[in-house]
């Protein structure tokens, strides 16, 4: 699975854009699908394939607002993949943007960042 893809967002799922050529995965919106593990399978597979097949940098750009528990679990799995790649010397990084009016999201992103040793930037957007 070395193709780019876009999943348009719905009320319960985030918009996901995976660009293989740019080495960029973007996710934005709320995430509380009925079955998060099914919903995120393609995204997890994409990250795994990219890290295995490519040697180029991988960047995640996140604008996630609300997540249910199983979505949080999937995000932690993705960060684990990045952490593993980072330890092997790969250039990986996360940029988490939050609405400056919603500081709670910043605190959540900080919780996610804990234990991650790869570059993980959290920035406010207006």
| Shortest distance, position 47 Cβ to another protein, whole Å | 18
For 35, residues 6+ apart whose C-beta sits below 8 A from its C-beta are: 70
CB-nearer residue toward another protein: 2 or 102:
102
Pick from 78, 67, 73: nearest CA to 28: 67
Q: Which residues are 95's β-sheet partners? A: 61, 121
| Shortest distance, position 54 Cβ to another protein, whole Å | 27
Both tokens of residue 70? 């199983």
CB-nearer residue toward another protein: 104 or 121:
104
Both tokens of residue 48? 């795994």
H-state helical runs in 1-122 = 36-39, 41-53, 69-87, 103-113
| Shortest distance, position 56 Cβ to another protein, whole Å | 28
CB-nearer residue toward another protein: 60 or 67:
67
Q: Please report, as ranges, the residues that interact with another protein according to CB under 8 A.
A: 66-69, 72-73, 76, 104, 107-108, 111-112, 114-115
**What Rg value do the Cα atoms of the chain yield, rounded?**
14
CB-nearer residue toward another protein: 74 or 92:
74
| Shortest distance, position 14 Cβ to another protein, whole Å | 14
């Amino acid at each position: 699975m070395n193709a780019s893809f876009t999943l348009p967002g719905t009320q319960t799922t985030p918009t996901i854009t995976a660009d293989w050529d740019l080495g960029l995965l973007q996710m934005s919106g709320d995430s509380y699908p009925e079955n998060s593990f099914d919903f995120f399978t393609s995204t997890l597979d994409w990250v795994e394939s990219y890290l295995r097949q490519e040697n180029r940098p991988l960047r995640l750009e996140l604008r996630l607002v609300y997540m249910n528990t199983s979505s949080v679990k999937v995000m932690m799995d993705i960060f684990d993949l990045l952490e593993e790649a980072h330890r092997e010397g790969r250039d990986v990084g996360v940029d988490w943007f939050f609405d400056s009016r919603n500081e709670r999201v910043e605190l959540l992103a900080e919780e996610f960042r804990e234990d991650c040793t790869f570059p993980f930037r959290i920035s406010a957007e207006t």
